[in-house]
Amino acid sequence: MTKTATDARRCALPALGAGTALTAMLFASRLPVTLDFILPRRAGWELFVRGFEALSRPETRRAFTTAVVLLLAAALARFVFLITAAVRGRRWSLRDVLARGFAVALALLLMRWSFSIWFEVAQKAWFPFGSMNALEPLANLLACSVLVYLAARSALACLAPRPSARRALIPWAAANALAAFLAFAVYGAWSAPTPRVDGRRVFVVLTEEEGRPGQAAYDLPIAAEADLPTGGVHRLESLRARYEILAKRMDPAGLRRALMLGVKYDDGLARSLLLEHLMSAPPSPEALGALGALADEATHRIGPMGASRIALAYAHLGDAAQAAVWARRGEAGPRGIPAGLLDLTGGGALKPGRISGKIEGVRPLTVALYRKTNPAAPYLLDAAGLVASTEPDSKGRFSFSGLAAGRYYLAFAFAPQPGEMTVTGHRGDLSLDLRRASLDLPALRIRAAAR
């Protein structure tokens, strides 16, 4: 057996050990925070359930960490032994030492580069976080083991009496270059989306502090949604940037479409945001359809926390029958939430469920209505709370209808103004209920005070 074949055989087992340890670390780091919410339905569910349950217990977590460290230490010790054996008894000139050291460093650099290419594509395009794909640990095991093996083999080849660094490193470097080119061409790797800023908006939010009306103002840049790519390795980054842009533009219909697209592409943030948004949105067939897509058990696995949140959303949208079904589902299991703790009353659109008013003075570009699900919650321009938006008419009038009972607040978007925006005439938060299903607000006077 030649020395090359012997080195290959000696490197295989420690490379597999190191690859196994790295795969286990990646598996643990990419488990979802909880299995009790809404997760994609895929084969291999038991693998993630067992892993989550095991790593949730301190004693098992310690044993897991110990096993990973021992595997890595054993693999490293074996590689050190092989390298020591390769250089033992050799007399090298300074030039030989520098040349071989440079070649070994290049092998390590190629390994790092290979891992970067693998993770860039695997974790962003094939297996995004939260995708719960059982193929991910298998692919990581193969990739990590092969890359560690190539690094060890190349390092030993560079330390041989007659180093074959060219034969060991040049094909690997060429393969890396080809992989990087393909990743860039196919997935757009390493070119994160940078939406173009096409202006600024001044936002004024009407608040209520200790029972007294107040306001908060923000001056924020507005980006162009059209500049964001719809695919590639940065697809989820683009989607999340789109959520933020549409929330700033106060576009609830566009926001719902973007969140539905995010749900399609397994974005856990989109699932969470869409569910919270539907608990604020006006009851409508469109909102019920979006909620039905989230509650589709052919596509998602829904734990007790997710079932309880879905029950609240159905109740808000006026479907009492589905709300009761999902409330019972939320009670199941040791971490279930008793249905009696959920407020499933008072949902559905009020008649007329209207909030209307008139603006005098500086006219905003957009008037938006937000729902405040908790009286103690902060006043945010967020995707979850956005209910509806409109442009005031030529006389400054605006109106929102078909609203559910609840607590609301208004926000305005303006083109940049030379002075500080002040709003007078408002009385704090807006509340609708069965006894008061319509609010006609007094005129709101807006002016830009000189600085």
**Chain segment 247-281, per-residue pLDDT in tens:** 999 999 999 999 999 999 889 999 999 999 999 99
Q: Is residue 364 part of a domain?
A: yes
Shared domain for 155 and 282, answered yes or no, is: no
Domain boundary pick from 137, 160, 187 = 187
pLDDT, position 155: 87
Has residue 297 been placed in a domain?
A: yes
Residues 111, 19 share a domain: yes
pLDDT for 5 equals 57
Check whether residue 300 and residue 171 sit in a common domain: no
> In 194-280, which residue ranges form alpha helices assigned H by DSSP?
235-248, 252-264, 268-278
Domain count, the chain: 3
Instruction: Say yes or no: 148 and 258 in one domain.
Output: no
Query: Which residues make Cβ contacts (< 8 Å) with residue 125, sequence separation at least 6?
Result: 187, 232, 233, 235
H or E segment and range at residue 158: helix 135-158
Give pLDDT tens digits for 367-378: 999 999 888 889
Domain that holds residue 280: 224-341
Q: Is residue 195 part of a domain?
A: no
Highest mean pLDDT among 2-6, 189-193, 240-244: 240-244
Q: What percent of the chain has pLDDT over 70?
A: 96
| CA dist., res. 329 & res. 331, Å (int) | 5
Residue at 205 is within a domain: no
The answer as to whether 192 is a domain residue is: no
DSSP string, 274-325: HHHHHTTSPP-HHHHHHHHHHT-TTTEEE-HHHHHHHHHHHHHTT-HHHHHH
Are the C-beta atoms of 64 and 50 separated by less than 8 Å? no
Do both 292 and 384 map to the same domain?
no
Amino acid 259: pLDDT? 95
pTM over 0.95: no
What are 276-313's pLDDT values in tens digits?
999 999 999 999 999 999 999 999 999 999 999 999 99
Residue 20, phi then psi, degrees to nearest 5: -65, -45
Q: Is 164 helix (H, G, I), strand (E, B) or coil?
A: coil
Q: Check residues 327 and 234 and name the one with the higher pLDDT.
A: 327
Write the CATH number for 379.
2.60.40.10
Residue 97: C-alpha distances to residues 87, 160, 173 (Å): 10, 12, 22
Clarify whether residues 327 and 359 are in a common domain. no
370 and 295 in a common domain:
no
Predicted pLDDT at 182:
93
Q: Is the pLDDT confidence value at 226 over 70? A: no
The Cα–Cα gap between 217 and 388 comes to 20
153 in the same domain as 28: yes
Given 341, 362, 391, the domain boundary residue is: 341
Let me know whether 19 and 154 are in one domain. yes
- Band of pLDDT at residue 197, cut at 50, 70 and 90: confident
Q: Is residue 68 part of a domain?
A: yes
Q: Of 294, 300, 410, 408, which Cα lies nearest the Cα of 359?
A: 410
The model's pLDDT over 111-155, given as tens digits with 9 standing for 90+, comes to: 999 999 999 999 988 998 888 999 999 999 999 999 999 999 888
Q: Mean pLDDT across the chain, nearest whole number?
A: 90
Query: Using CA atoms, how far apart are residues 348 and 351, in angstroms rounded to an integer?
Result: 10
Looking at the structure, tell me whether residues 129 and 271 fall in a common domain.
Answer: no
**Are 33 and 91 contained in the same domain?**
yes
Using the 3D structure, point to which of 310, 341, 372 is the last residue of a domain: 341
Is residue 249 included in any domain, yes or no? yes
Collapse the DSSP code of 108 into the 3-class scheme (helix H, G, I; strand E, B; otherwise coil) and give the result. helix
- Does 349 map to a domain? no
Residue 172 has pLDDT above 70, yes or no: yes
Same structural domain, 258 and 400: no
